[in-house]
Structure 1
């Protein structure tokens, strides 16, 4: 994995260098790319590309990055809504 510490996505809440690298690998290189794609579709692509390396926490982290909030602040109802969107 390349050194992604300066990757622009790594500066968003919840997204570190590893997640930024994963996103870059699926064609999401900027915050605008992530916002355009949305958390659910970005998560689906990550899950398809990287399988078990991507957990549901990634879904919450992506949604939090877009909303500028900590992923741990999502309550169970919000998490369930995100999961339903992924499954739907």
Structure 2
């Protein structure tokens, strides 16, 4: 099995490059992090938030095609996506984030 992120169903080289910018460089690492933590890191790296990309990731990690997500399952994933996106928008940025990283709270 390839460790290339693009070996995961629904994910291609552009998505793999975005995850690399988020510090996620292999399929094994992505699988062990899981969709939510990987997407949190995606957002923290400044990658754009897209619901379809999120649920394509979730489906791909289950080995399912992206368009298999429908109905109640899709609504549940939408709520998770909205929660991840909202948490990211509240995260400290810039100088405040750097100070938090080294343990100094403003």
Identify whether the pair has TM-score above 0.5, normalized to the shorter chain: yes
Equivalent-residue separation in structure 2 for 1:41 and 1:56 (angstroms): 15
Equivalent-residue separation in structure 2 for 1:18 and 1:54 (angstroms): 14
Deviation, structure 1 residue 36: 1.4
Deviation, structure 1 residue 54: 3.0
- Please provide the CA RMSD for this pair: 1.9
Partner of 2:46: 50
Equivalent-residue separation in structure 2 for 1:77 and 1:32 (angstroms): 29
- Higher RCO (Cα < 8 Å, 6 or more apart): 1
Equivalent-residue separation in structure 1 for 2:78 and 2:37 (angstroms): 12
Equivalent-residue separation in structure 1 for 2:73 and 2:58 (angstroms): 10
Equivalent-residue separation in structure 2 for 1:67 and 1:36 (angstroms): 13
Deviation, structure 1 residue 32: 1.6
Partner of 2:26: 30
Partner of 1:79: 74
| Alignment partner of 1:13 is 2:9 | yes
- Scaled by the length of structure 2, the TM-score of the pair is 0.65
- Scaled by the length of structure 1, the TM-score of the pair is 0.77
Post-superposition CA distance 1:23-78 (Å, at most 9, x none): 11112112221111111221222123235x33111111111121011111111311
Alignment gaps of 5+ in structure 2: 85-106
Number of residue pairs aligned between Structure 1 and Structure 2? 81
Alignment gaps of 5+ in structure 1: 1-6
